Amino acid sequence: MKIRCLGAVRTVTGSCFQLENPTGGLTLVDCGLFQGGRQTELRNFNTALYRPGEVKSIVLTHAHMDHSGLVPRLVKAGYRGPIFSTAATCDLLSALWLDGASIQENEALWKSRKNSRQGQPKVEPLYDRKAAIEAAELLKPVKFENEIELPGGLIMRLFTAGHILGAASVHVTVPSAPKSPGPSRAVLFSGDIGRRGQLIIEDPQVAPKSDLIIMETTYGNRLHKDLVASSAELVEVIKEAHKDGGKVLIPAFAVERTQEILLLLTKAWHEDLIPKDMPIILDSPLAITASEVYLNHPELYDAETREMISLGQTPATMTSLKITRDSEESQKINNLSGPAVIVAGSGMANAGRILHHLKHNIWRPNCHVIFVGFQAQGTTGRRLVDGAKVIKLFREAVKVEAKIHTIGGFSAHADQSELITWLRPQLHSGLTVALNHGEETQTLAFQEKLKQVFPALPTLVPKWLETIDLRTLTAEALIKPEEIAEEKPQVAQAELLSLRRRLDRLMIQLADRSEPLTPDRLASLEDLLNRAEEIALKD
């Protein structure tokens, strides 16, 4: 069997692996959105690479959009096969895909209005609500450890990954073919690996032996703070903001991170560690819906969470908690005087209600912004973490005076040490490990660490569009250029929009400097203008 790497190799987003089925057709393990910079986001339009007409089944490790968000796009292109995942993941996806469709439709509408003023064609959304609903109808819940035969002959089992509710590692067995007798082969897709001792969910499981493990490396070059220290840091920021009369803005992922933060705030509130008169506002319809899904799956809780529930320490018992579902309630938050904690999506501050709260508060010195998850390259969150002095929000340049905090201990991803701990019990003679789902520097650093810790372990770091042959366990590029030439007008529109954004950012940076333009900056600006003009003049 050959495994084509369609995403999350030498980058974090767009997770997808394309497997050849023994009896024909293809299976996809994950099918996620690319997020971040221009080149990566353009990949979302290359539907032909996924060969939706040949795909017989899709298996999703978990509900995060960088692992699942492109499925409605394939459904829009004609895919009608089963989509396998755990019951909790299926419940979350029904809400996430609809939310994603609304974002895609609104963005396409905004682009189309802008294009119409310039005599340009309308822009179609990546996918719409109809495709999201049809995708949800294809979901097939699977229990952990149950053996499932996929269409096409592969055998699949799911094991707890410990990342978010319902997250799984996918173990796939490839039976020996009748015309090519020999032993069966097995591959384990780690999905996103969680941390041991994480709140709410159980620790990761050890899966059966595999010939190949495709393993995530999001934090392959760093160690997290522990949860106790991170919780204490969160409490101190809230207390400082309360003293100064400022807002605490927490851009949080709707699934897992929001629920974990709410549980920590609940515990701190009951123990009088944070002011009880300080409003705590959950301003994310998607996170509210996801929290309801969490409540429906107590069978997946760990012992610590079950104990907190038994003691009555649930978010519902916090009298300072306010939940805002509709946009009118959300807008009223901006008129709220005095200190408050506002938890809103999105987690990378690249969309959603958090952008409005940033616009109204990030220029205030008594505002605090706390990032509690990974920030991909090219996102607003990443620019703030990297120290941006000015950011653009709703086409307006806003100066950053707020204090920016990054608290890594809340990450749902294992760090370098925890990744090694996860891998150790799965080692055996004959195993090869392919590293994915990490920025290139992180992945290569983790590969070097593995060479130090396990010198005899063969490792691969595939590139985008490379294919791993499970028989030889080598990676090679088999993609022909014509395979990625699809939907040129749509891709050009997306590329042009990205170039416009880059120009806007450059102009903001230039406006914030007192010195004159240097030759290198003039050259950079001229290159961008030439490229934008070239795309605009294309048929």
As a whole number, the mean pLDDT across the chain is 88
227-410 shares the fold of 2-222+412-484: no
Return the structure tokens found at 175.
């039976």
| Predicted confidence (pLDDT) per residue in 319-361, tens digit | 999 999 998 999 999 899 999 999 998 888 888 899 999 999 9
Judged by average pLDDT, the poorest of 21-35, 446-460, 524-538 is 524-538
| Predicted confidence (pLDDT) per residue in 252-279, tens digit | 889 999 999 999 999 999 999 999 999 9
Return the structure tokens found at 451.
């060479």
pLDDT at residue 229 above 70? yes
Alpha carbons 311 and 319: distance in angstroms, whole number: 16
**318-321 LR contacts (CB < 8 Å, sep 24+):** 318/265, 318/266, 318/269, 318/270, 318/280, 319/276, 320/269, 320/276, 320/277, 320/278, 320/279, 320/280, 321/262, 321/280, 321/281, 321/282
- Of residues 29, 33, 192, 7, the one with CA closest to residue 103: 33
Alpha carbons 412 and 372: distance in angstroms, whole number: 10
Three-class secondary structure of residue 162 per DSSP:
coil
**Residue holding tokens 């999506």?**
345
- DSSP assigned state of 255: T
Please report, for the chain, the start and end positions of each structural domain, with discontinuous segments joined by +: 2-222+412-484, 227-410, 488-536
CATH number of 2-222+412-484: 3.60.15.10
Alpha carbons 101 and 441: distance in angstroms, whole number: 33
State residue 186 phi and psi, 5-degree precision.
-135, 145
Per-residue pLDDT at 226: 86
Return the structure tokens found at 227.
């949860």
Contact 266, 445 (CB under 8 A): no
- Of residues 214, 217, 216, 218, the one with CA closest to residue 172: 214
pLDDT at residue 474 above 80? no
Per-residue pLDDT at 482: 41
Q: DSSP letters of 365-427?
A: TT-EEEE-S---TTSHHHHHHTT-SEEEETTEEEE--SEEEE-GGG-SS-BHHHHHHHHGGG-
| Predicted confidence (pLDDT) per residue in 168-180, tens digit | 999 999 987 666 5
Report the helix count and the strand count for the chain, using DSSP H and E.
Answer: 16, 23
**CATH class in words for 227-410:** alpha beta
Alpha-carbon separation of residue 471 from 195, 394, 428, 487, 501 (angstroms) = 32, 51, 17, 34, 45
Q: How confident is the model at residue 488 (pLDDT cuts 50, 70, 90)?
A: very low
Q: How confident is the model at residue 60 (pLDDT cuts 50, 70, 90)?
A: very high
Per-residue pLDDT at 408: 78
This prediction's pTM = 0.82
Three-class secondary structure of residue 29 per DSSP:
strand
Per-residue pLDDT at 204: 97
Strands 2-7 and 280-283, bridge-based pairing = unpaired
| Predicted confidence (pLDDT) per residue in 202-224, tens digit | 999 999 999 999 999 999 999 99
Quickly count: other Cβ atoms within 10 Å of residue 524's Cβ. 14
CB-neighbour burial class of residue 219 (10 A; exposed 0-12, middle 13-18, buried 19+) = buried
Strands 2-7 and 466-469, bridge-based pairing = antiparallel
Alpha carbons 72 and 95: distance in angstroms, whole number: 13
pLDDT at residue 36 above 90? no
Q: Region 129-156: what's the mean pLDDT?
A: 97
pLDDT at residue 240 above 80? yes
Residue type (1 letter), 2: K
Percentage of the residues of the chain whose pLDDT score is greater than 70? 87
Alpha carbons 41 and 499: distance in angstroms, whole number: 12
Q: How confident is the model at residue 119 (pLDDT cuts 50, 70, 90)?
A: confident
Judged by average pLDDT, the poorest of 73-87, 307-321, 323-337, 481-495 is 481-495
| Predicted confidence (pLDDT) per residue in 388-431, tens digit | 999 999 889 999 999 999 997 888 899 999 999 999 999 999 99
Q: Region 286-306: what's the mean pLDDT?
A: 93
Per-residue pLDDT at 484: 43
| Predicted confidence (pLDDT) per residue in 438-469, tens digit | 999 999 999 999 999 999 999 999 999 999 99
pLDDT at residue 481 above 60? no
CA dihedral 478, 482, 487, 492 (to 10 degrees): 100
Q: DSSP letters of 72-135?
A: HHHHHTT--S-EEE-HHHHHHHHHHHHHHHHHHHHHHHHHHHHHHHTTPPP---SS-HHHHHHH
Residues 6+ apart with CB under 8 A from 206: 159, 425, 426
Per-residue pLDDT at 509: 53
**Residue holding tokens 């097939």?**
140
- Of residues 431, 456, 459, 457, the one with CA closest to residue 445: 459
Write b or e for each residue in 68-101: b if 16 or more Cβ atoms lie within 10 A of its Cβ, otherwise e: bbbbbbbbbbebebebbbbbbbbbbbbbbbbbbb
Strands 280-283 and 459-460, bridge-based pairing = unpaired
Q: Region 282-308: what's the mean pLDDT?
A: 93
**H/E stretch holding 19:** strand 16-20
pLDDT at residue 493 above 90? no
Per-residue pLDDT at 133: 97
pLDDT at residue 310 above 80? yes
